[in-house]
Amino acid sequence: MAKGYWINMFRSVSDPAKVEAYRKLAAPVMQASGGRFLVRGDPAKVYEHGVAQRTVVIEFDSVAQAIAVHDSPGYQAALKALGDGAVRDLRIVEGL
C-alpha cells in the first residue's frame, strides 16, 4: 500500500499565537495516528515559480489514514483553534 503525504503550505500568517495553538493541538493528534513529520520550516531556496512559504510534510501509512486524521475530532479542534490565524494550502497525496 502506498504511503499518504499531507503537504501543508502556509501562504500567510496573520496571528502567530493562533498558529501556535493549532500546532500544539494538531501535532499530537497526527503523531498518535502514526503521522511522521518529514519537513517543517521555511524553504532554504526556491526556484522557478516557487514561493517562499512555510512548508510541512507529514507521512502516513496510507492516504486513507491521512484523510481520517484530517476528519478526526482532535484535528478539527486544532483547526478551530487556528481559525483565521493563517491562510494555508493543504493537500493529501499518494506516494509512489
Whether residue 26 contacts residue 78, with contact meaning beta carbons closer than 8 Å, is answered with yes
CATH of the domain at 47: 3.30.70.100
Residue 5, helix vs strand vs coil: strand
Task: Show the cell assigned to 19.
Answer: 498558529
Q: What is the pLDDT of residue 47?
A: 97
Number of domains in the chain: 1
Nearest to 8 by CA among 93, 96, 94: 93
Quickly state the pLDDT bin for 60 (edges 50, 70, 90).
Answer: very high
Work out the mean pLDDT of the chain and round it to a whole number.
Answer: 96
User: Over the stretch 2-44, which tens digit does the pLDDT of each residue have?
Assistant: 999 999 999 999 999 999 999 999 999 999 999 999 999 999 9
pTM score > 0.75 for this model?
yes
Contact predicate 56/66, CB 8 Å? no
Give the DSSP H or E segment for 34.
none
Average pLDDT over residues 59-78: 97
Domain span at residue 11? 4-94
